[in-house]
A and B are shown apart, each in its own frame.
Chain A
């Protein structure tokens, strides 16, 4: 999984920056943005191997963002991050083309396994 570039999208600064740091320690390079619009703009200029996308964000929701991403970058694997009680959104996201979803708080080992599976 070396040299992977991950796009992390979540409006919770502390969560996403800490997660990015943990991925960095494992040799995974990641870029963070805090909303769907910024993620869509960034995808037009930079290449990523995978995207981690929070479902519940202010402004453009995770599922709306996913819809746009799947039109312009259909091959980019997307893993959704949902809250408990929002697993319905996770299932809906998979129907819309997301590779899988994880319920927050995320277990890093589970996340790495999902990333690995998504890239196979």
Chain B
């Protein structure tokens, strides 16, 4: 059963990563085409100045969106490659940024801002990348539950005494938090996090200032 689940993950990762390569080609063509329009404008004398100004604005918009699309595609590509290996050597800074970047949209939908505070140096760990991404996601989901609309959550990466940690914390509450906290829902979310932390041999703790800390082993066991 476990083997089938793993194969499914690898399958989804491969298909998604391969599609991002096609998307990248689409952006490359749009970028070159807008570049050619720009070239034609600057190499041609008989285009009226007002038209040139308008076209330049349009081209800038296209370029901006190409960059945006390209960045998103890059994120999806990195995310999809997370399932390449069940256990992999990874930099903790990088894998946290991968999840935080991918969660920006979810946060934005709730007007929450996300801040990543990486460690000064890379922290290399051997871990199960997909499970670690899931654990981080559950932390964010748990904290987002306290922030129905607005607020700020930070993800801080540290390595005190060679114990790699990720701390997710609500940095600021919205002025009018609103919403209802349902204990059963919260406890369900916490159980999911604990379950996934078991797979990672990691430890998750929460304190009442609404801060979750995951402490990871440098190498996994089991």
Contacts and interface: CB of A to CB of B under 8 A. Distances in A.
B35 A85 contact: no
A15 B73 contact: no
B14 interface: no
B20 A104 contact: no
B32 A83 contact: no
Chain B interface size, as a band, is: 20 to 34
B29 interface: yes
A22 B21 CA distance: 23
Interface stretch (B2-10, B74-82, B87-95, B169-177): B74-82
B167 to A, nearest CB: 29
A12 interface: yes
B189 interface: no
Contacts, number: 58
Nearest to B30: A105
B24 A83 contact: yes
Given A15-B29, A85-B17, A85-B74, A104 B36 contact: no
Interface string A50-92: 0000001000000000000000000000000001111000000
A86 B29 CA distance: 18
A12 B27 CA distance: 12
Given A12-B25, A18-B32, A25 B43 contact: yes
A19 B25 CA distance: 13
A12 B21 CA distance: 12
A14 B27 CA distance: 11
Contacts of B36: 18, 21-22, 25
B113 interface: no
B24 A104 contact: yes
Contacts of A22: 32, 35-36, 39
B103 interface: no
A18 B36 CA distance: 7
A106 interface: yes
A108 interface: yes
Most chain A CB within a 10 A radius of its CB, from B25, B70, B81: B25
Nearest to A19: B32
Contact of B28 (A12, A21, A25, A86): A12
B66 interface: yes
Most chain B beta carbons < 10 A, residue from A21, A105, A106: A105
B73 to A, nearest CB: 7
Given A18-B33, A22-B36, A104 B43 contact: no
A104 B35 CA distance: 14
Contact of A14 (B29, B35, B70, B77): B29
Given A12-B28, A18-B33, A25-B43, 20 more contacts: A12-B25, A14-B33, A15-B25, A15-B28, A15-B32, A18-B32, A18-B35, A18-B36, A19-B32, A22-B39, A25-B39, A56-B21, A84-B24, A104-B24, A104-B27, A105-B27, A105-B31, A105-B32, A106-B31, A108-B35
Interface of B: 17, 20-21, 24-25, 27-33, 35-36, 39-40, 43, 66, 70, 73-74, 77-78, 81
